[in-house]
Amino acid sequence: MKLLEGKIAIITGATRGIGRGIAIAFAEQGANVAFTYSSSVQAADELVSELVALGVQAKGYQSNAAEYAAAEQLVDEVLKDFGNIDILINNAGITKDNLLMRMSEQDFDAVIEVNLKSVFNMTKAVQRTMLKNRKGSIINMSSVVGVKGNAGQANYAASKAGVIGFSKSVALELGSRNIRCNVIAPGFIETEMTGKLAEDVVKGWTDAIPLKRGGKPEDIANACVFLASEMSAYITGQVINVDGGMLT
């Protein structure tokens, strides 16, 4: 039996990188997948086709989780289309890096809205269904930067540290209803975004990692499968660093 057979998952920001890897891993483990995307209809359609080919139900929704009303509407549509929600993966995120002295208020606010406020919006929107079911798994994507900070990323670090504090509070609030909330903090993961970095920059990162390589989206996806499944039934309120030992 597959680990997520028949479960229904919402994944935000799933058309590329880590989100896409999670969607595919979930479908491979039998989960039906509802996912959001911001702009690329073609990428969303391609992902739906790939997921359906794995034998599950899948649908993409163009939605901005940073907007409270849009998150509420999305959850209503998913419930109408899929009938239930078992798992929420808050993965959508952006960066607008700059030194603090050069960082604009708009760039600070935008990163907080997408990376942190969206987690509040989506968690609040699915909470009602999970409370009624008396079960659920919420997995929020932070970053090693949210754990240790990083020069030039004050906005990103603040948003990702906020995700950790929020998740621990949700775990305490909802644990008695068998709703678990955990955090994954990825390290240096090789995606389309990191593919644009100069070779010497990438080498500088990987040399500092004990495993001497960057991670793959599948590394994050596998941790998500574990936290979404019954294999982690007694784990909540935790931060799992998937970073090749970077923070060791």
pLDDT in tens, 208-218: 999 999 999 99
Percent of the chain residues topping a pLDDT of 70: 100
Strand order in the sheet with 8-11: 58-62, 32-37, 8-11, 87-90, 136-141, 179-186, 239-242
pLDDT in tens, 71-114: 999 999 999 999 999 999 999 999 999 999 999 999 999 999 99
Phi and psi (nearest 5°) for 26? -65, -45
Which domains are assigned to the chain? 8-241 (3.40.50.720)
Length reported for the chain: 248
At 49 the three-state DSSP class reads helix
Pull the structure tokens for residue 229.
Answer: 């499944």
pLDDT over threshold 90, residue 176: yes
H-helix or E-strand containing 105?
A: helix 105-112
Does 13 show up as a binding residue in the annotation?
yes
pLDDT in tens, 178-230: 999 999 999 999 987 777 777 888 888 899 999 999 999 999 999 999 999 99
Please report which confidence band the pLDDT of residue 39 belongs to, taking 50, 70 and 90 as the band edges: confident
Does 143 show up as a binding residue in the annotation?
no
pTM over 0.85: yes
Does 17 show up as a binding residue in the annotation?
no
Active site residues: 156
H-helix or E-strand containing 52?
A: helix 41-52
Pull the structure tokens for residue 230.
Answer: 């019954």
Longest dimension (CA), the chain: 54
Does 159 show up as a binding residue in the annotation?
yes
Pull the structure tokens for residue 16.
Answer: 């590329």
Chain mean pLDDT for the chain: 96
pLDDT in tens, 6-18: 999 999 999 999 9
